[in-house]
Amino acid sequence: MLTAVLGFAVVAGLLTLVPGIDTALVLRASVTQGTSAAYATVLGICAGLLAWGVAAAVGIAAILTASQLAYELLRLAGAGYLIVLGIRLIVQARKPGATTTGGVTSGRDSTLTCFRRGLLTNLLNPKIGVFYMAVLPQFMPADLAPLSAGLLLAMVHVVESLMWFSLLIWGTGLMRTWLERPNVQKWIDRVTGGVLIGFGIKVAVSRA
């Protein structure tokens, strides 16, 4: 069992380190809204990973590999979500009242909003589901029930994600003085919004 878990840890760790949508959301939350918002986003992301892990373990995610229609619907929903979220960030950055106090935006999102944003970003990403469905069976410990094995491997991915995102959040904390500047935070919103729109368009035009 240990060999299977360690093997999955290596694969999931490499996936975690690759910059993507999750990284952009966490960095943006940490820089513009503070540590609490960043960790709420991280917890949402991790909850999404656990959901996909369970789905893959019980076979639900197999629908994405077996049904082109299901994959396309989820893909388009995810692309639309990212594009809308990116546009909202850019529009928000253009508002003259979007100033900061103590490193936190005056119109800060609630903890629940940050959590939901991280969760939906993962749940609406079919590529994560396909990844879990393709990779988990390769590392499922034979001496565990499928659901237990799926939860165990998903937890490994969650722990790695928590460690990596904590490092990113800590890193932004070292640059807090510079990052607290209103103009810097507005540009961060613009850049993050542009990144999300770019990812959304990429997801929209991609194929299974």
DSSP class per residue in 103-139: TEETTPPPHHHHHHHHHHHHHT-HHHHHHHHHHHHHH
Q: How far apart are CA 137 and CA 174, in angstroms?
A: 41
Read off the pLDDT of residues 28-58 as tens digits, 9 standing for 90 and up: 888 888 889 999 999 999 999 998 888 887 7
Top mean pLDDT of 14-28, 108-122, 183-197 is at: 108-122
Query: Confidence band (pLDDT; 50, 70, 90) for 103?
Result: very low
How far apart, in Å, do the first and last CA atoms of the chain sit?
Answer: 32
> For all residues of the chain together, what is the average pLDDT?
79
Please tell me the predicted confidence (pLDDT) of residue 108. Answer: 64
- Three-point CA angle 132, 118, 175, nearest 5°: 115
Contacts of 173 (CB under 8 A, 6+ apart): 30, 35
> Quick one: pLDDT at residue 60?
67
Query: Of the ranges 11-20, 105-114, 193-202, which one carries the lowest mean pLDDT score?
Result: 105-114
Instruction: Say yes or no to pLDDT of 65 above 70.
Output: no
Distances in whole angstroms, Cα of residue 100 to Cα of each of 103, 179, 182? 6, 10, 6
29 in Cβ contact with 38 (< 8 Å): yes
Higher pLDDT, 145 or 46: 46
**At 156, is the pLDDT very low, low, confident or very high (cuts 50, 70, 90)?**
very high
pTM of this structure: 0.72
Pairing of strands 104-105, 100-101: antiparallel
Residue 80 to residue 190: CA distance in whole angstroms: 18
Is 173 in contact with 35 (CB distance < 8 Å)? Answer: yes
Q: Are the C-beta atoms of residues 113 and 29 closer than 8 Å to each other?
A: no
